[in-house]
Structure 1
Amino acid sequence: MATDVKRPKIDDECCVFDPLKNFLCWCDCVNLNLSDKVYLSKEGTVAVYGMLAKEDIEEGHVVFSIPRDTLLHQGTTKIKKVLEDGKKSLESASGWVPLLLALLYEYTCPQSYWKPYLSLWPDFKMLDHPMFWSEDERDKLLKGTGIPEAVDTDLKKLQAEYNNIVLPFIKSHPDLWDPEKHNLELYKSLVAFVMAYSFQEPVEDEDEEEEKEPNPPMMVPMADMLNHVSKHNANLEYTPECLKMVAVRCIEKGEEVFNTYGQLANWQLLHMYGFAEPFPTNSNDTADIQMSSVYKAAMQETQREADQRLIKDKWNMLCEMEIVGEKGVFIFGQSGALTYNELHTTLKVLCMSVQEFEEFCENEGWEEDEEDEDDKMEQALSFDRLTALSPEWKRLLHAAAGFTLDSYSEDVDTDRRLLEDQGALAKLSSRERRALHVCYGQKNILQRLQQLTKPTS
């Protein structure tokens, strides 16, 4: 039973002043099986902690396995029953409250089963998500990336969740929590901890028609010691008995073992995990163009009042069809538009003649009878094919990309010069470097979009 779990006995002389060695002693005690071919280190890795190969590792090798009862979540914590009894009152938009309450308890409990694991983060100061930056710093370094707006939303939701759900619950259980100790500041740190280090087990898709709730997040000791790159060499696998980190390709001696957190752009990595991949290594990097920027570009194309009314009517129709939205974005990746269906429809409607639009409204849209229509739209809006678009479509894309580029603090050429100047780059703070890689990665995609849609004279 989870409530009967006791703290593993660890030799008092076992690395008392070394949290990493203490954690490894704990791993042995809880049957976390670490391969002899790897070791954990604070040196030679891309972050504070990391895993390196002691010798060559073949594809398919199990780097480590961890029993399910050693995972930390609301179903394994000592306060499992309290959380189950209060389940109804702990419902939230994030779905994270039960895990966060478990962490509030376990992190501050000297007898916690997971104490050697949680002691790896003595004060969470190694977490440097933008939510811990000052508002001025976020606005200055990350303007135009979408991160400041996302962080503002996170902080408002986090505070409301703590004040309205968490605080009343912990006050009703004074034997387990103390509002003075388990305060908003610690809660914020634990939210960042869950953002950066938790895992979610994939939902088994047995019935495609039935939409299932996602599994709640959980903490997976050892798995969170591996850092992320888009071109990873290991992956976490889930079995009924345990979780296993498995090499997905050969890993050479001395090479860092990298997991993947998913196909994430640099702005997502910085927002959720507190780091960014150096440009140009993130093959999953993206740039967003506000949908409203395409509307602005279309309105800018004409001066006649009647034409502007027509554009407005077209836009309202697209909004009613839920193709576009006030806060929606068109996403571009390294090879072109990723939201190609929405973008293709938007450009097609905005560039219709009066007669075409009237027919479109009468028919309440159009019926696509070709099965490969999606493929055609994707190909048409790939970077390889943009030059073949109609001049009118290209002008809208070119102008919208320009509006987006203008929203950043610095222009793309300034960022490029800074990245090429190793001396100047070395003088930047860690936050400034991460912000630079995020901003330049986005601007590089947008600049390419502009170049490919540049109007011909």
Structure 2
Amino acid sequence: MASEAKRHKVDDDTSLQDFLRWCDSVGLVLSTKVRVSKEGVVADYGMLAQDDIEKGEVLFTIPRSALLHQGTTHVASLLEREKFSLESTSGWVPLLLALLYEYTTAQSKWKPYLSLWTDFKMLDHPMFWSKEERDGLLRGTGIPEAVEKDLDNIQREYKDVVLPFITKHPDMWNTRTHTLELYTQLVAFVMAYSFQEPQEEADDDDEDEGKAPIPPMMVPMADMLNHVSKHNANLEFMPDTLKMVCMGPIKKGEEVFNTYGQMANWQLLHMYGFTQPPSDNTDDTADIPVINLYKAATTGSSHDHSKPDGDPQLLEEMWELLQDKGPFVFGKHGCLTDMELHSVLKVLCMSRDEFAELKDNDGWEDEEDEEIISQAFSNDGLSGLKAKWKWLIHEAALLTMRGYPDVDQDRVLMEDQVLQQRLSSRQRKALHVRYGQKRILEKVMELTKT
């Protein structure tokens, strides 16, 4: 196996060659039909086919002993012994402490792997942008609010959980090296490159509601593959090994892509620091906050039968019931949270007597078929909704659109490749997020116009 691994063509990159030799030493087997490269891939490192690959072929296998998580590092026993003091909302503290230790220890057995990220400069999550950049470039997308929440949680977790722990164990960690800045970088590293092992769905009767989720893990080599929504490889978890398997024919010279799941561009940028062109991302979405439906309802008029009655006192009571609802998510083919939207629209269009009955009964059992509702809120069904419902959705989408920077300017930028090339990387990624969301909202408005 060792001689086979050494035959792989690699770029003139010392860190990459050291990593590939390390892979061979830990029992990771890489197919001779692929190579890791910085050239000819969409971002940073990637994997290219050196020969035609057929569906079902294994691109590489990695033993579980080579995975990096809190149970496989030098500090594993200590982290296990004191795990109750490391509990946090994220559940990531043990892994992050392990990474803090291994990343800064010269003798770490993970050094050839972690050395691929020498200073984390390739991580360009919005959490590393200035607040002015986030608020200016990403206004209306939901990302600035998500990042502020992330940063608050990271700072709180470091101060309340991590700092007391590393202060208690100065022989393994120290506050001069293992700073909040490095901790934040490692959070982004885990966000962008870790994997979550699939959990079997438990029966409702057997499900343990208090059970903590399985923490993420670092999977060397798997994290080299870039993401597209139409991927051609998939990571499979076996009892003793993990393997990357080809999902369809890959031609010589083509890039091998994994998937991080069904990710809208705002999620890709927020969690991974990159985007896809809106036309390429089949999983792109746009959110309509529930408050915008409420605001639309408050502008209704009893003189227009296409609008809700707009009784201020009644609507205020309705808002008390609805304000904890999450946003309504629209994809390229319709509403993805159709049941929730259906329920809210029913409430906002109720008479006072109907709403009183709803409160008396503490809700209602929706007897309508889920498939019928799903069809009604698809792009094919939106135009056939009740006039009042269409008006509310249309006005809420319009209110959401007004939260973005100039719509027409973004359209001009997307249609002119020369102008796009003049943008910085961050400006271009923000444009992808904004424009993709706006296009979805424009479609919703077109289909609900009354």
Residues 148-201 of structure 1 deviation map (CA, whole Å, 9 limit, x = unaligned) = 000000001101111111111111111111110111111111010000000110
Q: Does 1:157 align with 2:156?
A: no
Q: Does 1:365 align with 2:363?
A: yes
SS of equivalent to 2:47:
strand
1:87 is aligned, of 71, 83, 86, to 83
Runs of 4+ residues deviating >6 angstroms: 14-17, 303-306
Select between 151-160 and 303-312 the one with higher mean Cα deviation.
303-312
Matches within 5 A, 1:190-201: 190-201=186-197
Query: Which residue does the alignment assign to 1:449?
Result: 444
Shift of 1:395: 0.9
Check whether the contact 1:286–1:332 (CA below 8 A) recurs between aligned residues. yes
**Structure 2 Cα separation of the partners of residues 169 and 362 of structure 1:** 51
Q: Does 1:98 align with 2:94?
A: yes
CA RMSD of aligned residues (A): 1.9
Q: Which amino acid aligns with 1:24?
A: L
Matches within 5 A, 1:386-405: 386-405=382-401
Query: Which residue does the alignment assign to 1:433?
Result: 428
Q: Which amino acid aligns with 2:329?
A: I
**Structure 2 Cα separation of the partners of residues 61 and 17 of structure 1:** 27
**Structure 2 Cα separation of the partners of residues 232 and 22 of structure 1:** 28
Query: Which residue does the alignment assign to 2:257?
Result: 258
SS of equivalent to 1:143:
coil
1:184 is aligned, of 160, 176, 180, to 180
Check whether the contact 2:265–2:278 (CA below 8 A) recurs between aligned residues. no
Matches within 5 A, 1:29-428: 29-209=25-205, 210-211=207-208, 212-302=211-301, 307-316=311-320, 318-319=321-322, 324-325=323-324, 328-369=326-367, 373-411=369-407, 413-428=408-423
Residues 4-52 of structure 1 deviation map (CA, whole Å, 9 limit, x = unaligned) = xxxxxx9xxx999710111011111111000000000001101110000
**Structure 2 Cα separation of the partners of residues 355 and 203 of structure 1:** 46
Residues 401-429 of structure 1 deviation map (CA, whole Å, 9 limit, x = unaligned) = 01100001121x32111111111000000
SS of equivalent to 1:257:
strand
Shift of 1:369: 4.0
SS of equivalent to 2:242:
strand
Shift of 1:367: 3.1
Using the size of structure 2 for normalisation, the TM-score is 0.93
Residues 330-350 of structure 1 deviation map (CA, whole Å, 9 limit, x = unaligned) = 111111111111110111121
Check whether the contact 2:301–2:310 (CA below 8 A) recurs between aligned residues. no
**Structure 2 Cα separation of the partners of residues 340 and 15 of structure 1:** 49
Query: Which residue does the alignment assign to 2:306?
Result: none
Check whether the contact 2:299–2:310 (CA below 8 A) recurs between aligned residues. no
CA separation of 1:396/1:191 partners in 2, compared to 1, >3 Å: closer, same or farther? same
Q: Which amino acid aligns with 2:91?
A: G
CA separation of 1:109/1:364 partners in 2, compared to 1, >3 Å: closer, same or farther? closer
**Structure 2 Cα separation of the partners of residues 329 and 216 of structure 1:** 27
Shift of 1:358: 3.8
Residues 61-118 of structure 1 deviation map (CA, whole Å, 9 limit, x = unaligned) = 1110001001000000011111111111100000000000000000011111110000
Shift of 1:303: 7.8
SS of equivalent to 1:235:
strand
SS of equivalent to 1:63:
strand
**Structure 1 Cα separation of the partners of residues 301 and 314 of structure 2:** 10
**Structure 2 Cα separation of the partners of residues 390 and 83 of structure 1:** 57
Q: How many pairs does the alignment contain?
A: 434
Select between 397-406 and 345-354 the one with higher mean Cα deviation.
345-354
SS of equivalent to 2:174:
coil
* Unaligned ranges ≥5, structure 1: 1-9
**Structure 2 Cα separation of the partners of residues 389 and 361 of structure 1:** 25
CA separation of 1:360/1:183 partners in 2, compared to 1, >3 Å: closer, same or farther? closer
Query: Which residue does the alignment assign to 2:3?
Result: none
**Structure 1 Cα separation of the partners of residues 397 and 13 of structure 2:** 53
Check whether the contact 2:123–2:188 (CA below 8 A) recurs between aligned residues. yes
Shift of 1:204: 2.2
**Structure 1 Cα separation of the partners of residues 358 and 26 of structure 2:** 65
**Structure 1 Cα separation of the partners of residues 196 and 88 of structure 2:** 17
Shift of 1:307: 1.5
Q: Which amino acid aligns with 2:96?
A: L
SS of equivalent to 2:255:
coil
**Structure 2 Cα separation of the partners of residues 364 and 443 of structure 1:** 37
**Structure 1 Cα separation of the partners of residues 263 and 362 of structure 2:** 36
Q: Which amino acid aligns with 1:23?
A: F
Shift of 1:352: 2.0
SS of equivalent to 1:454:
coil
Check whether the contact 1:16–1:22 (CA below 8 A) recurs between aligned residues. no
SS of equivalent to 2:409:
helix
Q: Which amino acid aligns with 1:338?
A: L
Q: Which amino acid aligns with 1:332?
A: F
**Structure 2 Cα separation of the partners of residues 362 and 168 of structure 1:** 50
Q: Which amino acid aligns with 1:445?
A: I
**Structure 1 Cα separation of the partners of residues 129 and 351 of structure 2:** 49
Query: Which residue does the alignment assign to 1:5?
Result: none
Select between 431-440 and 199-208 the one with higher mean Cα deviation.
199-208
